[in-house]
Each structure stands twice: as structure tokens, then as C-alpha cells.
Structure 1
């Protein structure tokens, strides 16, 4: 640290010259010797010394404490006080300038050296720590996740801008508050809200748990990770909580789940969802002693439509056919597309087999009416096969197979009709 430039502020000339010589003897440079606080401010601005040795009692309007306070606030130059006064009031007042040391007059070169070197060391450590804190704050403020940290009592001491946005609270509103008062969550969309605290963090949070951040009446799905911070002895000294908005991920998951059980073209249930509803429908029919119908439907000569008008037009025909089937069936029924021009219909809660056959016949009649596709009117007839529970089968696979056999019988009989399953097939 030798070679550093030191400003000496001392209003007694003989003492000032003696201290100046000691400073030089120790290998430091003297940036100036002044006797008032006003002069100290001017030289500090002009010379930018590395350290100020400041007497507390000075000539002029500014005493050493006021001058030191201004120098520290304006230029962040470390201060070491020189004083012959050790009363408590003076020392308490002196701490307002955040001094880096005190020297009680009189003192020798060794004491001066220790005070100066200690001040330089403290200032270096303080500067490095501030720089690290600035970097850390900049990093934490720039990350795209919400971040909250607390002290050992669970009191919030930092919240980054993303967390402010997600919580709907400013840093001023959150810092100094207990975490459990600010961070309310619930498990699942219908769970009961509760405040997150250090005890829950200690028990561990599973990232893939279904957490929702509670902000007023709103519920925001979040991915949540948190942990306690411990010192070398294992004592909890704080906590950190990281969370992110996963609304878009939830929507994508819901969409993927929907597409997994629905036909992408017609938006009707696919084979997977139909089979599940057929299984459930059979259980209900057995329990309530009701009948159930399964219809297999093909559009007649659909290949000709594709070959004549193109596959894009054929897709539009399939979409329109799905809409017609939805209009002709009840809320308790399920219309599904198995692929190509093959549709399947589950007729639930039938009291008689005749009622199922009547629905199928209405479908045949409806497909004999012109449909409008891409501003073109055309008639696309349909062939249907119907199998009934419990008359024609007890299990899902059995009913589907027999409805399919009945469909082929309808086609063999000339198409554009419904055929009830018969053992002769």
C-alpha cells in the first residue's frame, strides 16, 4: 500500500507538520495539508487522494465530522479520524461518516501505520464486496425466473423484477415482510391457499408438484424450487426461492393431452377416447340394466370423392360428416373417427334396441340430403352397421367387431342403409 496519496486535515500547524513527516517517513505521499473542512472538500475533489486523515475539531464552519461525511458520500474516499476527544457523544457522531479508523492523539508512527494500513485493507474489502453485490444484484435482476431470498427468520431481503411482476408487488412492499405473508400458493387448481415458510422449505419442494401462485383472485401455475442456506456449522442463515410462470407450458400440455385422444382433422374423439367411453358405458349399462349400441359407419364411395375433387376437398367432406353426426346424436352419445372415412358412434342409455336402430336410420336419411362443402352441394351417402349390448356382445372388442361385420353386410346389400348385426354374418 506504500506510495498511496494521503490528505491531512489538521488545524494546528505544529501537529500537522509532525504528522506530515510521519506519513512521509512511512513511505506514503502527502496529497496536501489543510486546516479546514472547506479546504478538505476542495482538495479531495481536485486531488482525489486515497485516504484522508481528518481531525474532528477544525477551523471554519465545517467540523471534521461534517467534512468527512461529505467527502465519503461524494467521493467514497476512506476516512481515519484524528482526535484528542474520546467522549461517547463525539464518537457516536463520528460514525455517521462511516470512518475506517480512529487515532487518539498523541500517537506514534507505528500506530499511524497500523491505522492507515487497516483503513486501506477495510476499504479494499468493502469496495470488492460492494462490487460483488452489484454484480450479484445485476445477475439476479436479469434472470428470467422470479427470485426471492430471506434471512434466517424468513423475512424477505431481496426480490427481483420478475418476482415483483409475478407477485404483483413492488420490492418496497415485499422486502421486510415475512415470506408466508407475501408468497401464497396452493396445490392444484382447487387447493387451499397457504403461505410458504422456512419449515415447508426445509421439508423440500418437488419441482413437478402442481403449484399455483395465489395473487388476489388469480391463480398462476408456477414451477417452484426453494432451499435453505446454511453456514459452515449447518445453521440456517436464510433461504432462496426460485419460481417461473408455466402458463404456456400448461396450455401446451393440455393441448397435447387433448390431441392424444382427439382426431386432428375433425376434432372428434379418436379410437383411444372412444374405447375408454365404451368401457365406461358398458359398466353403466350393466349397473342400470340398460342397452347400449355401437355403430360403425363408412361414407359410400369416398375414394371417388378424393380422386375427383382431391384430398383437401375430401378432408372438408369428412369434417362436414362429423358435424352432421354430432347434430344427429344425443349428449349421452359419442361420435368418433377411427381413420379414413370410418366413423364410430356409441349410443348410450338405450332402453330398447329399436331406439338405437331408429337413430341409425335417421343418420342414413340425413346423409341422403345434399351437404354443402366449399360452396359445392353434393350427396354423400353412408353405410352403417349396428351391434347392441347385451344382445350381440358383452365386451368392447366383441361389440366393435360385430358392428363392423354388420357394416360390411350393409355394403354387400347395396350401401346407403343400416344393418343390425345378425348371427348369420
Structure 2
């Protein structure tokens, strides 16, 4: 029997501010803001380096703590800018150690971020949009309409807030409840763009955010430890490889166009053949940099041995890993998860063809944090509050 997950409502006080944030700006933009404050040209590079280190290496959220920055400049920065993270509306900790944060952004909109710990690593699943423009029939997020793209700073801030909560900055102690946290120096070792939204529909914001996350003089997460997952925005796939160069995952889920049209409606615009051709041409693709194909296991829908054999045929000559995902139920879902025996038979076909095909262990199901379950609680929980404020969207 599942135990009740730990839930903390309003886990942090509101940190909202009307001031613009410096989080998410690249070095050139930071220099421009410093110029506005009157910092001389010859000092700008040094000051940018100091700010970058304090924000992304040490994780400070208060300009006053930047001890090697001149006091007068610290005061100017505090009067003009913010380093605030999103407000934590609620924090839930699963019995397996998975953590989910419902975050309120500066305009009151909300997104979810999930941390999945393992023995030697920790993966942070971040969102790129409020809601989602797609309507994948097996995905809970797809039942929430798209509101807007996240800004680069709002994407980076999810990583920074998670590091705050996990004590993942140098010298930080971490949370009292260390359930499931990895025995590693860094608690967040991997970032996946698999949260709310289709990241390639927010290309510039996601690209700019990941450039900061991967920066070797800041958060310094290798591009090989960053994975973007797309439902198949074919024209943007090669561009992402060229401009961002992270690992790539494809939400495939079907081997026939008629079924994929139903499960992943974007397939009507870019069918399987077009999607796989873009994958074959993904910049940097090799056996050392394989594409992950995600395949949710739906009972009686896409889980036959014939489906497994066709999957192997479709992916021929593509350096790939196939990630089999037991379907995670959500209220009102029309699907059920495949039987475990059937999943194992499916995986055996894929394994014998030479593909690594791990079956993703469901994590965080008890707090609706598993794959395909994310949806802003504000959609229903806070509807009455928004209506009272005159916002009926």
C-alpha cells in the first residue's frame, strides 16, 4: 500500500518581484545591463565574470553576498535587478525519493519540475512551456492548453531552485529529508527537457537556457548529460543539433502512422518516415552519441510482438537506445499499462536485435510525478481563486 507522500504547501515564501531578473542572460547581455548602471567598459568583463560565478557557481540569490563586488555596485544591482527563483507553491516527496515542485512564475502561471534520484546520479526533469501545444492522447500535460513559452531565465531558474532545495551548491548542507538522494558530490548530474511543453516549439528560450546550464564556468553540466525530448518537430531537429548539440530523445510510441496520428497528433504534420530521416541526419550522431527513442507501453495498443519487430526494422542503421516506458495512469486516461510479461517479451525482441532497451522504472507515481503525469495543479486547484480575481482563462 502506498504511504501518503510528503506535501508542503507554500514551501517557500513568495519571492516574486517586479524587478527584472539577471538569471538567464548571457554574458553580453549582462555587460549591457552593467553599462546602463555606469560600469566603465574596461571593468565590464571582470564584473560579468564575478556575477556569473556568484550566480551559477555559488548559487547566491542576494547581491549583498557578492563580497568581491564593490558595495556601491551591489546596491545599484539590488535596486534594479533580481536573482529570485520562482515561488514554490508546493513540494512533494515520493516514497521513492522523487521530488516534485509546483512553481509559480512572475505572472502567476505555474509549472512543475521533477527531481529523480538514483544511487549514483540525479536527474532533473524541467519544463519549457506553461501547458503544451500538443495533444498527445496518453499524456496528462497534453490535456492542459498552451499558455506561453517559458523565458530562458525561467528555465535556468528551475535548475537553480532545485539545486537550492537539494543543497547542490558548494558548501550547502541540503535538506533535512535526504530520502533517496544519491551518494554523490553533485545531486543533479543530468537534466532532461521532458517536463511540460514541447521544447522545440520554444527553441530560442530552451537553447539559450541550456547554453547557461552547460557553461563550463558556471553550472557546468556536460551537453552529454542534457537531453532534449521532442514529439517530432522535424524542421527544428537538425537546427537543435547544430546550435545546442545536446543529446536527443524522440517520443515515438508507435510504428504505424495511423496509430501515431492518434497517440502523437503532430505525426499528421511530420510522419514517421520524415521524423526518422531527420534522426539519421542529426548532427554528431554516432554510437557514442545515440538517440533515445521513447516508447510508452499501452496494453493492446502498441505492445504486440509485431510492433516490436517493426520498431527494430524502422530504426535500422540509426545509433539508438530504445527506452520502454510502462504507461503511468492519470485521472480520466483512456489507456492501461501493458502487462509486465508482455513488456518483457517486447524488450526481448528489441534486445536480440542489438538495441539497449531498458524498461524505465516508474518513479513518483504516488505524487503524479512520473512520465506523462505532469499537469499544473493550478488548473483545478486554484481555478476559483483566479476566477475571483477576474481571470477566467
Global fold match (TM > 0.5) = no
- Greater fraction helix: 1
Structure index of larger Rg? 1
TM range (shorter): under 0.3
Bigger relative contact order (CA 8 A; separation at least 6): 2
The two structures have a TM-score, normalised by structure 2, of: 0.21
- Greater fraction strand: 1
